[in-house]
A and B are shown apart, each in its own frame.
Chain A
Amino acid sequence: MKTTVKYIISLALIIIGTSLCPTDASSQDYASDPQFKVKIDFNRWHDVHELYDDMRRLEKAYPEFLSMESVGKSYNGLDIMVMKINNPNTGNEMDKAAMHIEANIHGNEIQGGEVCLYTIWYLMENYGRIDKITKLVDERVFYIFPTVNPDGRQHYMEKEGGGARTGHVPVDDDNDGLYEEDPSNDLNGNGVIEQIRKYVPGEGNYRISRDDPRFMEPVPFGETGDYIMLGSEGIDDDKDGRVNEDGPGSYDPNRNWGSNWQPNYIQGGAMDYPFQLPETRALNDFLFAHPNIAGLQSYHNTGGMILRGPGAKTTGEYPRSDVSFYDELGKDGERMLPFYRYMVIWSGLYNVYGGSIDWSNDGLGIPSFSNELWSGSGQYFTSPELKEQAKDPNSPISRSKSRYFFDDHLEFGDQYVPWKTFDHPDYGEVEMGGRFKKHLGRLPPRFMNEELCHRNMAFTLYQADEMPMIELGETSVKKISGDVYRVWIDITNPKITPSIMAKAAQNNVVRPDLILLNGDVELISASWINDKATHDYTNPITSLIDQKDLKRLIIRNGHPGKTTRTLQYLVKGSGNISITYDSVKGGKVSTNVQLK
């Protein structure tokens, strides 16, 4: 009896508590595991406003680490928002290597936005809970842009999905001097551009398939059907004799970047010059203002790919050491994302001129990947047995039918739009339908999205963890004679990413690393030691570093990944000297050496 009362009281308290704080209730009374501070759905698609609202909720819950700001406005005036993640207790934002994560440059490729949101949420909810995450957040900075094409995303979410890849700067697609005057038309307003069929008993050339009533099929020669097909939903808005020939935009924001950019006749959708679009310009300005960015991921869809540059064959392959870096991460990525393959854009996909990750690699010196999220039908039926079965054209999961089977049995018909009658302005009474909804194909089924978010985040966090991090290791001082000393300093980068990529060094786009010696001494020489362990036995001749100012050495191609180098100074003088390794992307570290 007593327990029951207690139970009822506590239940009542919970109900009261829940009703007082309907969202993000403090869940200390639950034994659920883990207990998250901010609850966000990852099984549905967010429009721009809700995406930003969720980011604001996170910012409010984790104000010390998160700050959300606008880097600029889209053509239609929506903010391009970045969430900055930085632990101020572990150092200034600009002194730590930063991972830049963005998504949705193509307006219809939306689920990267959810991956970004998931990443912010996951890092915050697991900070202090999972050691590796805690360390990562302490050591690194994150700049996360869930949508860099908010006009495209919002258009995709609000409208029927067509023509949403582009941004919304007006373009005269049909050369008639008018802009965006004949977009696609969702006549019945159900968010789908459907097929149109008209019932003409005994006079048509199409019939309903006998296999599956959702399919239409042409009748064989000599027979008649009951239907004719009248194309897709849409009207000739400008009465110029063509249908849907000039919708919003119609360019490609991911061809408007500054590396191997080519004009429209070579690269469709490039616009007139790189960074002409307000969105690409704002983003590039941000990237330039943050030289600490040492890794970049740009999420796209679809096809299950981990892409790297070069975008076009004509660019030529990256230098060997850069290729090795990409291979290292890319191959591990394939292990983390079992449905994804690691590829070079031009050879694995197609030639892309003026793409964003070509620019970030070549023009900004940022190692960059682009994941093509969701590998499509390959992820519906995955076991070897089912894959074999799918080859049989009579199987319910054959190539042409697998999506219908999946929709019927796993999504309860959520995606298929059945035929319905409609009074068409030009065709009279017709039926419209027979198509899948817009999300199908490019997006995973909603219930599968959280796995997509997590696996891709994991790969991106792996890259973030492997950004360069220069450490000054062991130093040793040996007296040569009088006040002349030999000083050795070990310089190590334990991460896979070099502090400056080879291509970046070739292009001179990253400020070189500097090794600064501070102290009231005379520097006789500086040189690299080939092998510290055997040096004193073999006594090799070290080559001199041929620079005028030895107290400020320029290391133009930076420090390789997973490497220790030993620097030797011959110094005349006494007392203390300090040595600083200053790398824009690899951090700034100092050590003191006493000459004695």
Chain B
Amino acid sequence: MEVIVNHLFNYCNRRGLVLLISLLMSGSICLSQAAFGQEDSDYKNFEQFESALKSLVKAHSGLAAMESIGKTNSGREIWLLTIAKKSGTPVDQRPGLLVNANLEGDHLIGSEIALGSMKYLLSNYESDESIKKALDEHVFYFLPKINPDGAEKNFGGLSSGVKTNDTNYDGDNDGRMDEDGPDDLNGDGIITVMRVKDPNGLYMIDPDNPGLMKKSDPMKGEAGEYSVYWEGIDNDADGFINEDPTGGVDINRNFMHKYPYFKEDAGIHMASEKETRAVIDWIVKQRNVAIMLTFGESDNLISPPNSRGELSSDKGISMFDFADASFAGASKVGMVSTGRGYGMGRFMGMQFFRGSRSSTPEASSGRSSRPAREPATTVNKSDQELFNQFSKKYKEITGFESQPPLREPAGALFEYGYYQYGIPSLATPGWSMDIPKDTTLKEDRQGRQTSGRQSSARGAFSMRGASGMTGAGGSSGGGDGMDATALKWLKKNNSDGFVEWQSVSHPDFDDVEVGGFDPMAVTNPPADMISDLGEKHGEFMVYLSSLYADVKIAQTEVTSHGGGIFRIKAEIENAGFLPTAIQHGVTSRGVKPTMVQLGVDPDAIMSGSRKTNFIQKLDGSGKRQKYEWLIKGRSGDKIELKVVSQKGGSDSATIVLK
């Protein structure tokens, strides 16, 4: 791994040319002189990443600034980079794009793409008109490494896919902290899974794909032959393996939408973590953030929300789900349900007459009970077309078609962005597992159909509705799921990403093999893809910034009626593409209404509009809202009319009475 060297920016390599061609094809004018050296193409630990950020800001001090929005438990800074031309409209008052990355500690690619995108914006500022306009008129905010403590755990020589930060957490609530983490039994520096011969096991080797495991189906006459665990030993001799590793909280499980209460990795409560609070505290002050783009293990860009407003896919690696399920019982050990206690408790007898007690919730006090409201959990119908458009453009720029392994979001930042903060909030893993449509796949598909399976690996992605919400253990695994796709993709692109099964000796079991997916390899693509991904996403970000609402006072008109009575007419226009608030921004009250205020004493207004007016939502593409005031005044008086929109900028006009 190497620290970035700035002077290499001018060096043009093959990827630069590919980008240039793709940009020209997509209609942008790009006379790119920028491209990236291979030196950028490596995953950086915190120190390297931080110094890369610092050099970047130093090299572009007129356009980039860097500040810390908080510190982690381990004292690492959470860096915010603000990228904008500082002169002109105050940066805080311009619509902005917020880019988030690395909420899940193991999602290192997100940080690298964010860094690559920043470089793309900064080094092409002079040469690319659309970028210049974006930085002159708008602002880009980057939080490229939100969970550095979690990320750093994946740089310690052990690849284990740690997502959590450094907060102490007793995973199995047994009164002992972090007493049973993974152990690298085969010494390959990777924590994969173990399959253990077990006549009571739930799993079997997938006959179509001997590298993979599937859940055996008794209805098909399949016997379970294996149990699956994470690689490790039962350090605390409690009968479970790796049930309480070091740390912590997964920051992308700690936000307030669909928060998974009292679940492992989610923290003791919503926003319990320093990282989470740093992000929200910043964002709720920074109300000019108009679009959010989050890199992580969720997606609504490669596959936009479906017509019901639900996410279209969130398939994970079944093998990991099987291993996770092996210690699900650890946090339930010791529930006493037998024994004298319950039978003799004084409360048992009371059940007979509880019916007459007034404390049951159905009992009403006679007060009118307000109906319980439920928060929205699907994308508002009126906002769905927007997400389709974002997705279309994203796929056009990136060429992505198939998602890599993902998971169901719960407590995720990008969902907070839409459901509570009320703006278009986009999520992507930042890369794809596209497998060229070659003959091998066709044969495969035919093979599957004859063996009775319903969908191809590719087809499964667009059929999430059928597979439903796949939680842990939800998929049967094997050749019909994500595992097969990931295996195929890794064989072609990253052959080290799948560890062939090998026998190891184990203190707790006799017949143990270690193997399967490298957790980091199914979350992060090979490092040589980084710079290309950075450029593509940079281009997508510029596209996003061209869409903001743009609120203007389009027209004003004054008429004198004599006797000091004047009529003022004004039209407010949204010349941008997006509405001043998306529909859910109105519903959620996440976006303030656009204020139109006439600078007169309220008593001077005789009729017509009020002094202070609000527009909940003004659609884009030139939609206008009209106002008319009859006021008392004197010829020559100057009156200020102003319009302020959180997401669409502000404007003012001086009206002279005459």
Contact = CB atoms under 8 A, between A and B. Distances in A.
Contacts of A543: 338
Contact of B346 (A351, A562, A565): A562
A348 B364 contact: yes
Contact of A312 (B342, B346, B372): B372
A5 B150 CA distance: 86
Interface in B562-600: 587-590, 592-593, 595, 597
Interface string B133-177: 000000000000000000000000000000000000010011100
A258 B269 contact: yes
Contacts of B261: 259, 362, 507
Contact of B597 (A240, A258, A505, A565): A240
Given A176-B597, A324-B347, A563-B344, A272 B280 contact: yes
**Chain B interface residue number, banded:** 35 or more
B336 A557 contact: yes
Interface string B371-382: 111110000000
Interface in B217-272: 237-239, 256, 259, 261-262, 268-272
Q: Which of A320, A328, A347 has the most CB of B within 10 A?
A: A347
**Chain A interface residue number, banded:** 35 or more
A349 B367 contact: yes
Given A548-B239, A554-B334, A343 B359 contact: yes
Interface string A504-547: 01111101101000000000000011111000000000010001
Contacts of A347: 361-365, 369
Contacts, number: 211
Contact of B340 (A325, A511, A566): A566
Interface stretch (B204-212, B391-399, B606-614, B631-639): B606-614
Contact of B262 (A273, A509, A549, A566): A509
B280 A331 contact: no
Nearest to A260: B261
B412 to A, nearest CB: 14
A290 to B, nearest CB: 15
A175 interface: yes
B644 interface: yes
A24 B239 CA distance: 64
A363 B269 contact: yes
A236 B602 CA distance: 9
Nearest to A316: B361
A404 interface: no
A352 to B, nearest CB: 10
A62 B333 CA distance: 45
Contact of A561 (B170, B238, B340, B345): B345
B612 A242 contact: yes
A241 B342 CA distance: 66
B420 interface: yes
A565 B354 CA distance: 25
B27 interface: no
Interface stretch (A219-227, A261-269, A586-594): A261-269
Interface string A305-343: 000001011100100110111111011000000000111
15 contacts: A177-B595, A263-B419, A265-B587, A272-B420, A273-B280, A321-B345, A325-B347, A327-B354, A331-B357, A344-B359, A346-B369, A505-B335, A507-B261, A511-B175, A557-B335
Name the 10 nearest CB pairs between A and B, nearest first: A528-B339, A554-B334, A258-B269, A241-B602, A324-B347, A556-B334, A241-B611, A507-B262, A565-B341, A273-B271
Given A347-B362, A555-B336, 13 more contacts: A240-B602, A258-B268, A258-B272, A266-B374, A266-B375, A272-B420, A320-B351, A328-B347, A346-B361, A512-B334, A549-B237, A563-B346, A564-B344
Interface of B: 170, 173-175, 237-239, 256, 259, 261-262, 268-272, 277, 280, 284, 331-336, 338-347, 350-351, 354, 357-359, 361-365, 367, 369-375, 419-420, 587-590, 592-593, 595, 597, 601-602, 605, 610-612, 614, 644
